Amino acid sequence: MLEGRTLWELVVARAAETPDARAAVDERGEVLTFADLRTRAERIAAGLAASHGLGGGTVVSWQLPSWIESMALVCALARLEAVQNPILPIYREREVGFIARQARSKLLIVPSTFRGFDYEAMARGIATDVDGLEVLVSDRALPEGDPSSLPPPAGTGDEVRWLFYTSGTTADPKGAQHTDQTIAAAARGMNERLGLTPDDRHSLVFPFTHIGGIIWLFSGLQIGLTNIVDEAFVPDTTIPLLQREDVTLAGSGTYFHMAYLQAQRANPSQKLFPHVRACPGGGAPKPPQLHHDVKNELGGAGVVSGYGLTEAPILTMASPNDPDDALANSEGSAMPGVDLKVVTLDGKVAGIDEEGEIRAKAPQLMKGYLDAALDTDAFDEDGYFRTGDLGTIDAGGAVIITGRVKDIIIRKGENISAKEVEDLLFTHPKVAEVAVIGLPDPASGERACAVVVAADGGPTLEELKAFLSEKGLRTQALPEQIEVVDALPRNPAGKILKQDLRARFSS
């Protein structure tokens, strides 16, 4: 595994070590070698410095699709020692405008249009309200110049070089500050747990602007593996791309894995991904049954999950060598250097297998929010980051996520875990997907509502209740309402947007 204090040091080291190896290949068949990546990045860095005056510490916001050119841009900005602010493509004027103002961005890079949305119009509208903000429209092409004009890099890897904004629900997005070293730490741990090799071909088919996309870029440079890049995840076109490139790591979360299963079931006589050895997961909870289905039908080790947040990515990771029970039910154990504790809702440190909020200290932990006022509530009195996730840690160190602190349904004073009910309902033959939410109820405070994507005609509420009772679920936790929908709303990482469902069905 190659080491480097900074992202740019990794780019240089990998280009020297394996110049002709593939860093990336995309849906068009374009190949980017590691030597190409360095050369292109340096030319783009020089072009951006000349055309927009970018340099060390300059904040650059960019909202590009998962393109090979986006990878080159990231490395170019690393060469300039700019502060990068990747923005998820789903963000619109309210969020992007807030981010550009708070981050004091000098440059906003967007495509002209993408998937039917006019990003250029949005960006230019935002620029009229943000002092000093320039807009660069890039449909893959970026400015280039003479690399000899660039000053030598001087970073140590400990400077804040990344601003990743978490998606807001009722509040504005929060900007997590990261360094090259915090991102590199997450990548190193993931490399070790997954046993990554230069022969691996990973599916980078989620938004590259997500922190996970940047981690996989670091991993590719550290290990020398290939990232298979697709500008947008569309199963009908993405899956043939992964087949063409003979994917070995078919990520990257529950939504993606379910799409792969559906494609495999449509053609059971032919192996979808013949050389897949694991399906890395993260970003959203998984039903335990999903691991068994993936292993039995897609092959390989099944679902190999990790757990983390934008503020602290990949705190835990499983290994393909873990037993099936651990892979199905847990998110692996703490990464090297990660210190986890579980705190019960009444404020006591939890024991083995006792549920509470997961809190963390870690080398991949952010350096605080850009708005420092948010740090007070984000960290406890001992300096542990409050994840907001509920879980347990077993005697072997495996972390089991049981829900969100705010995803507990309180019915007549009793706590109901939405995830517990969801995991059971996922095994019902008439349920394709499900989300359990709490809705206001004048009699009980909250009632549990199962929002279902139906299979085989769809179940009735009474069928679901009888099924759950047979599985041993207590009467108080049975859903009192069912809603059937065509699809569950999700963010780009595949996480279900429960706030949207609550807003829809609360009336």
Using alpha carbons, select from 378, 281, 310, 386 the residue that is nearest to residue 86: 310
pLDDT in tens, 489-502: 988 778 899 989 99
Enumerate the domain spans of the chain: 7-17+27-181, 412-505
Global pTM? 0.87
Q: 80 is written with which tokens?
A: 């300039």
pLDDT at 476: 84
Q: Which residues contact 266 (CB under 8 A, 6 or more apart)?
A: none
Residue with the bigger pLDDT between 277 and 443: it is 277
Quick count: other Cβ atoms within 10 Å of Cβ 355?
18
Given a cut of 50, whether residue 169 has pLDDT beyond it is no
The average pLDDT across 392-400 equals 97
Specify whether the CB–CB gap between 307 and 315 falls below 8 A: yes
DSSP string, 123-145: HHHHHTTSTT-EEEE-SS-----
Q: Percentage of the chain with pLDDT > 70?
A: 99
Give the residue-averaged pLDDT of 206-219: 96
> What's 412-505's CATH class?
alpha beta
Cα-Cα-Cα-Cα dihedral sign, residues 424, 388, 188, 152: positive
pLDDT per position as a tens digit, 238-287? 999 999 999 999 998 888 999 999 999 999 999 999 999 999 998 777 88
Tell me the CA distances in angstroms from 280 to 149, 193, 204, 228, one per residue in order: 41, 11, 11, 14
Q: How does the average pLDDT of the chain come out, rounded?
A: 94
Distances from the Cα of 136 to the Cα of 10, 46, 141, 309, 500, angstroms: 27, 15, 10, 30, 33
> For residue 430, how far is the Cα from the chain centroid?
29
pLDDT of residue 415: 75
The per-residue pLDDT for 413 is 67
Report the alpha-carbon distance of residue 153 to residue 295 in Å, rounded: 46
Q: Which of 312, 242, 235 is nearest to 279 (CA)?
A: 242
The C-alpha atoms of residue 86 and residue 161 are separated, in whole angstroms, by 11
Task: Write the pLDDT tens digit of every residue in 117-144.
Answer: 999 999 999 999 999 999 999 999 999 9
**Residue 142 contacts by C-beta under 8 Å, 6 or more apart in sequence?**
44, 47, 48, 69, 72, 73, 76, 136
Q: Average pLDDT of 400-413? A: 82
Fold: same for 7-17+27-181 and 412-505: no
- Residue 35 structure tokens: 């030597």
Q: What is the pLDDT of residue 286?
A: 85
Among the four given CATH numbers 3.40.640.10, 3.40.50.980, 3.40.50.970, 3.40.50.2300, the one describing domain 7-17+27-181: 3.40.50.980
If you compute the radius of gyration of the chain from its CA atoms, what whole number of angstroms results?
23
| Distance between CA atoms of residues 338 and 12, nearest Å | 29
User: Coil, helix or strand for 427?
Assistant: coil
Amino acid identity at 421: V
